[in-house]
């Protein structure tokens, strides 16, 4: 129902959609398709067609949808992976929202996983001089710092792991012994991570952030983009499962990984595991401790 959308946001949406589309827009209906503690999201029907709308608290998550819109536009500009078109981002005092092209989901085609593997390999061949990005964004509901540096190990330590470990220690969930164990593993990273150029990565690629369009072709959503080590992305796809052997074979055929990736994957996944430990607690912290022990 349209009444589910906050009043101030609804009026702002109507006005700004009209400006973007260069025509008067009437909001017709709204139905939730997703929701949770961060975002409210659903199908917005208008006189100009259907869109996907999601909104949240501008105070709690400042700049979240502006960053998401930038990330989607960056991915779209590569002409590799397919993403929803960004129509509009609105930020006001209490609420912020993003309006995206509405994509009806369908069954995956037989070529779905082959295509996704090929497209991701092509995406990862878009390189930069430095790791990071020229703006920060979010990973889930946590801010993600993308300060640029030419050294992957420095980036992994300082922009991905340190702040999350500090949050856990400051909150009392982890102790200084855990922090020291992490530092000891950092001293071995030169021997573990292969040298690679900074690759453009989606940044939050798990099975919940991919879908099939009406042609059965892959669409990726909800990015947390930056230029990183491409193995970080492949490791993330393994963390919660859902990606087929066909996907990995297709990727490796197009852009082979360095030998020993399977032995390194768990260490890359220390980052999303620490994100989840900060958001959801002790079970993920136990996994992080096991990873650190394995590489100590």
User: Do 226 and 140 reside in the same domain of the chain?
Assistant: yes
User: Do 162 and 270 reside in the same domain of the chain?
Assistant: yes
User: Do 118 and 96 reside in the same domain of the chain?
Assistant: no
In this predicted structure, the answer to whether residue 35 has a pLDDT above a threshold of 60 is no
The H-assigned helical ranges of 78-170 are 112-123, 152-155, 162-170
Name the pLDDT band for 34 (thresholds 50, 70, 90). low
Q: How much of the chain, in percent, has pLDDT values that exceed 90? A: 90
User: Do 156 and 86 reside in the same domain of the chain?
Assistant: no
For residues 52 and 84, the answer to whether their CB atoms sit within 8 Å is: yes
Percent of residues in the chain assigned helix, strand, coil, to nearest 5: 45, 20, 35
Whole-number pLDDT of residue 23: 84
For residues 181 and 169, the answer to whether their CB atoms sit within 8 Å is: no
For residues 250 and 116, the answer to whether their CB atoms sit within 8 Å is: yes
User: Do 145 and 252 reside in the same domain of the chain?
Assistant: yes
Q: Model confidence over 40-75: pLDDT tens digits?
A: 999 999 999 999 999 999 999 999 999 999 999 999
Phi then psi dihedrals of residue 3, to 5 deg: -65, -15
Domain annotation covers residue 128: yes
**What is the number of domains present in the chain?**
2
In this predicted structure, the answer to whether residue 157 has a pLDDT above a threshold of 60 is yes
DSSP 157: I
Residues designated catalytic: 204
Range of the domain at 194: 112-295
Q: Model confidence over 223-252: pLDDT tens digits?
A: 999 999 999 999 999 999 999 999 999 999
Is this prediction's pTM over 0.85? Answer: yes
CATH number at residue 120: 3.90.1200.10
Q: Model confidence over 168-209: pLDDT tens digits?
A: 999 999 999 999 999 999 999 999 999 999 999 999 999 999
Domain annotation covers residue 106: no
């Amino acid at each position: 129902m349209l009444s589910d959308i906050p009043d101030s946001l609804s009026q702002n949406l109507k006005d700004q959609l009209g400006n973007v589309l260069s025509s008067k827009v009437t909001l017709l209906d709204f139905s939730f398709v997703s929701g949770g503690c961060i975002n409210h999201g659903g199908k917005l029907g208008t006189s100009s067609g259907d869109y996907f709308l999601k909104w949240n608290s501008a105070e709690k998550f400042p700049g979240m949808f502006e960053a998401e819109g930038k990330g989607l536009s960056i991915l779209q500009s590569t002409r590799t992976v397919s993403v929803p078109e960004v129509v509009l981002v609105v930020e006001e005092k209490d609420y912020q929202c993003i309006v995206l092209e509405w994509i009806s989901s369908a069954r995956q085609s037989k070529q779905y996983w082959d295509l996704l593997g090929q497209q991701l390999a092509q995406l990862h061949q878009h390189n930069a001089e430095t790791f990071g990005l020229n703006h920060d964004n979010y990973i889930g509901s946590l801010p993600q710092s993308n300060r640029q540096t030419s050294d992957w190990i420095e980036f992994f330590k300082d922009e991905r792991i340190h702040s999350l470990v500090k949050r856990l220690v400051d909150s009392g969930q982890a102790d200084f012994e855990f922090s020291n164990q992490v530092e000891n593993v950092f001293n071995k990273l030169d021997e573990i991570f292969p040298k690679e150029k900074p690759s453009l990565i989606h940044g939050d690629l798990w099975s919940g952030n991919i879908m099939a369009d009406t042609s059965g072709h892959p669409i990726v959503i909800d990015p947390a983009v930056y230029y990183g080590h491409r193995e970080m992305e492949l490791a993330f796809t393994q963390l919660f499962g859902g990606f087929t052997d066909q996907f990995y074979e297709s990727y490796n055929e197009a852009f082979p990984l360095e030998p020993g990736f399977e032995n390194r994957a768990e260490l890359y996944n220390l980052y999303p595991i620490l994100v989840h430990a900060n958001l959801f607690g002790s079970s993920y912290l136990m996994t992080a401790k096991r990873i650190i022990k394995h590489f100590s």
